């Protein structure tokens, strides 16, 4: 199974390279970002040892479609997609926070709530809520944007403003953009028989202008439920059928792994890897309404590098 789990491209006028959990970002002449979405997969802030076939293509193509579908709400960093796994865009100065929008009490927010907390990131949560229950209105629960190898941490709006991480004027715009993006994403998901449960948005600034950056509405940054059967499952206190990375986290937790120092990663069998790949492709087809076309991966690194070099030569 050919995948990209690491890259080392020799690109012209290269001024910086950043290797994240999933993305390899090459900076060209301090102006352009060439972002390769690898086939790596992470959970609990740990990169798992094997790649997932077509995961990078799925994530990059979904993000590209949603960036195009929301460009009327907020400008975004995307300029071109010279390869199914690559986006080239504007090099912005990122804000040091991520905007998490939640429409339902599930995942980490449910685990926090179940432990007795009635406030998440300074947002009060009422008593008596159940797992997977919809909030009256979506809430924003920001996190810090951690350096490589560190963990993102919940943070309140008050701490962000008091700490000077973001100005009050910029934060007000980030809230506005986040809610409008979530509303648009929810509407598109609804049309495809899905529920956009929660998601994260990242923003940056260039020449005084705010841009939406990185990925948007992908299974790595978002959680989706199937709309059909949601109410019945909720009424019966059953698990929701979902398309997100949460099933990978659940598999790890079932195998006693939550990213703690003493935890041992379970074996990723070929069968498990194929099942994860199938889930990513399923989400692509469900959320876009289009058939996923697998790009030839026989010489995957060579293909990507040649496509990027060809684009840069013409740019």
Whole-structure pTM value: 0.90
* Distance in angstroms (rounded) separating the CA atoms of residues 38 and 19: 10
CB 86 within 8 A of CB 96: no
Predicted confidence (pLDDT) at residue 206 exceeds the cutoff of 70:
yes
Looking up tokens 């997100």 gives 244
Query: In order of start, what are the domains of the chain with their CATH numbers?
Result: 14-91+273-314 (3.30.200.20), 94-244 (3.30.470.20)
Q: How confident is the model at residue 115 (pLDDT cuts 50, 70, 90)?
A: very high
Q: What is the mean pLDDT of the chain?
A: 94
Q: For residue range 36-68, what is the model confidence (pLDDT) as tens digits?
A: 999 999 988 899 999 999 999 999 999 999 999
What does 56-105 look like in DSSP terms, one character per residue? HHHHHHHHHHHHHHTTTTS-BSEEEEEETTEEEEE--EE-SEEEEEEEEE
Q: For residue range 224-261, what is the model confidence (pLDDT) as tens digits?
A: 999 999 999 999 999 998 877 778 988 999 999 998 99
Predicted confidence (pLDDT) at residue 150 exceeds the cutoff of 60:
no
Predicted confidence (pLDDT) at residue 71 exceeds the cutoff of 60:
yes
Predicted confidence (pLDDT) at residue 34 exceeds the cutoff of 60:
yes
């Amino acid at each position: 199974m050919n995948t990209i789990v690491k890259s080392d491209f020799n690109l012209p006028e290269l001024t910086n390279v950043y290797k994240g959990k999933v993305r390899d970002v090459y900076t060209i002449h301090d102006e352009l970002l060439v972002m390769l979405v690898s086939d790596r997969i992470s959970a609990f802030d740990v990169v798992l040892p094997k790649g997932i076939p077509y995961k990078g293509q799925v994530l990059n193509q979904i993000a590209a479609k949603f960036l195009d579908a929301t460009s009327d709400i907020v400008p975004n960093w995307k300029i071109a997609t010279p390869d199914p796994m690559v986006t080239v865009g504007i090099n912005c100065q990122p804000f040091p926070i991520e905007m998490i929008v939640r429409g339902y009490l599930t995942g980490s927010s449910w685990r926090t709530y179940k432990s007795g907390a009635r406030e998440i990131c300074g947002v009060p949560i009422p008593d008596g809520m159940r797992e997977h229950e919809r909030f009256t209105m979506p809430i924003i629960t920001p996190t810090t944007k951690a350096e490589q190898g560190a963990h993102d941490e919940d943070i309140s709006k008050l701490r962000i403003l008091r700490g000077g991480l973001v100005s009050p004027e910029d934060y007000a715009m980030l809230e506005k953009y986040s809610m409008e993006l979530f509303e648009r994403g929810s509407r598109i998901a609804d049309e495809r028989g899905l529920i956009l449960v929660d998601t994260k948005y990242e923003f940056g600034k260039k020449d005084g202008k705010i841009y939406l950056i990185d990925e948007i509405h992908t299974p790595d940054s978002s959680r989706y439920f199937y709309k059909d059967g949601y109410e019945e499952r909720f009424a019966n206190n059953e698990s929701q059928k979902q398309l997100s990375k949460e099933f990978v986290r659940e598999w790890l937790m079932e195998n006693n792994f939550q990213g703690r120092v003493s935890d041992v990663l379970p074996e990723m069998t070929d069968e498990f890897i194929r099942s994860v790949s199938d889930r990513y492709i399923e989400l692509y087809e469900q959320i876009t309404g289009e058939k996923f076309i697998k790009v030839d991966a026989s010489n995957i690194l060579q293909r990507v590098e040649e496509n990027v070099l060809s684009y840069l030569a013409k740019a």
